[in-house]
Amino acid sequence: MKYAFIFPGQGSQAVGMGKEIYENFVQAREILDRASDFCSIDFKKLLFEPNDNLAISEFTQPAIVLNSFMCYLALEESMALKADLTLGHSLGEFSALGVSGGLDLIDTIKLVNSRGKFMQAACEGKNASMMVILGLEDSKVEEICQNARENGAQVWAANYNCDGQIVVAGNKDDLAKLESTFKEAGAKRAMLLNMSVASHCPTLKDASENLVKELEPLIKDEFDPVVSNVIARAYTSKDEALQLLKAQLVKPVLYKQSIENIDSSVDCYVEFGAGVLKGMNKKITSKPTYSITDIKSLEEFMSFAKGEF
The residues that are catalytic are 90, 200
Dmax (CA) of the chain: 58
DSSP for 240-285, please give it: HHHHHHHHHTTS-B-HHHHHHHHGGG-SEEEEESSSHHHHHHTTT-
Contact 219/126 with Cβ under 8 angstroms? no
Could you tell me how many residues make up the chain? 309
CA atoms within 13 A on the CB side of 194: 3
- The single-letter DSSP state of residue 17 is T
Rounded CA separation 180/198 (Å): 20
| CA 116, 118, 119, 125 torsion-angle sign | positive
Comparing C-alpha atoms, which of 199, 217, 198, 228 is closest to residue 93? 228
